[in-house]
Amino acid sequence: MARFWKRLRLTLEMIKFEHSVFALPFALTGALLAWRDSHFEIPGLAGRFGWIIVAMVAGRSAAMAFNRILDAEIDGRNRRTANRHLPTHVLSPGFAWGFTFASAFIFLWAARELGRLCFFLAPVALAIFFFYSYSKRFTMFSHLILGFCLGMAPAAAWIALRGALDARILWLTAAVMFWTAGFDVIYACQDIEFDCAEGLCSIPKRFGVRNALLIARGLHAAMIVCVIALVISFHLGALSLAGVAAVVTLLIYEHGLVKPHDLSRVNAAFFTVNGYVSVLFFIFWAADILTHRTYF
């Protein structure tokens, strides 16, 4: 039993379990908007929120574990990732596969608890999650595919609470997609030489580091446009706009950390700043939704 728990701990380290914070606040924001749209009257709300969190964490865990399994050989040839758990045989592929299947099962179970439409769409979501892991082998748009994987979260949370999709929530899906794609482009700048050698696809490989960083800025600008459109669509108040301002400030800081000739602070830009982006966004928007109780 002790060996099992050790391997489970190693698996959670491998998939960076703590980085579930990136998408979860946006999923919860989608859920709060759905609650507001229902005039704050949804039976069993606490339980539904709980299942949304379970589905989010389990879905991401399955996707990340599958990605690590699929990329194990590639990671082993990349100096930056050669010390990951699977290339170094700290963790066995068999246990990683078991974790992937278990996480996928929990994801499907949580979707079933959230309603028929969620359960029907859950296998489609899993297929998209797993498809992302292949995408960098043939398209530079893998960054946007990853973004869409995270961007589905708020729309899925809306469906979980309202039982159907509302086009307005797709502004948040688009915002998360552009935000994720932007910081993934920044992160991919580290591997431009490796991607060229291995024949992998990425925006930095196609356009070079300098232009890739400009594209990342454009993607983050698109994110801001989408969240402002979301504010307008849902007639939100000043606190949500303050949240947008906080996000803009953090994104400006993030881009200031990374230069075409100096990528030494990419990890700070990727992990630290983006964690603050998602958490602060949720805090401001949750405060607005809960205090600005006007619905249309």
* pLDDT value of residue 207: 97
With beta carbons less than 8 A apart as the criterion, state whether 32 and 285 touch: yes
The verdict on residue 69 lying in a domain is yes
- The confidence score (pLDDT) of residue 250 equals 94
295 contacts 38 by C-beta, under 8 angstroms = no
Where is 245: in which H helix or E strand? helix 238-257
pLDDT in tens, 17-57: 777 777 899 999 999 999 999 988 888 889 999 999 999 99
Helix or strand or coil: residue 82?
coil
pLDDT tens figures, 55-91: 999 999 999 999 999 999 999 999 999 999 999 999 9
CATH code: domain of residue 101:
1.10.357.140
The answer to whether the CB of 119 falls within 8 A of the CB of 112 is yes
Label residue 11 by pLDDT band (50, 70, 90): confident
Q: Is 11 a domain residue? A: no
Structural domain of 208? 20-291
Contacts of 100 (CB under 8 A, 6+ apart): 62, 65, 66, 69
**Please, are residues 181 and 146 in contact by the beta-carbon 8 Å criterion?**
yes
| pLDDT (tens digit per residue) in 208-252 | 999 999 999 999 999 999 999 999 999 999 999 999 999 999 999
How many CB atoms lie under 10 A from the CB of residue 164? 8
Kindly state whether residue 4 falls inside one of the protein's structural domains: no
- CA dist 228 and 212 (Å) reads 25
2 pLDDT above the threshold of 80: no
Supply the pLDDT for residue 243.
96
pLDDT for 263 beyond 70: yes
**Could you say which DSSP state residue 262 is in?**
B
Q: What is the pLDDT of residue 294?
A: 55
CA distances from 7 to 14, 70, 92 (A): 10, 19, 9
pTM value?
A: 0.94
Judge whether residue 293 has pLDDT over 70: no
Give the mean pLDDT of the chain: 92
Per-residue pLDDT of 268-282, as tens digits, reads 667 788 888 999 999
How many residues appear in the chain?
A: 296
In a domain, 10, yes or no: no
Provide the 10 A C-beta neighbour count for residue 36. 18
CB neighbourhood size of 186 (10 A): 30
**Other CB atoms within 10 Å distance of the CB of residue 232:** 11
Mean of pLDDT values over 157-186: 96
Q: What is the number of domains present in the chain? A: 1
Of 143, 252, 125, 242, residue with least CA distance to 189: 143
CB atoms under 10 Å from CB of 235, counted, come to 11
Residue 153 lies in a domain: yes
Identify whether 89 is part of a domain.
Answer: yes
CA 102 to centroid of chain Cα atoms: 20
Q: Does residue 134 lie in a domain region?
A: yes
* Cα(31)–Cα(26) distance, integer angstroms: 9
Retrieve residue 11's tokens.
Answer: 């698996």
Q: What is the DSSP string of 132-155?
A: HHHHTTT-TTHHHHHHHHHHHHHH
Cβ-contact 152, 128 below 8 angstroms? yes
| The pLDDT of residue 132 is above 80 | yes
143 pLDDT above the threshold of 80? yes
Instruction: Please compute, for residue 224, the number of CA atoms within 13 A of its CA located in the half-sphere on the CB side.
Output: 17
Q: Does any domain span residue 15?
A: no
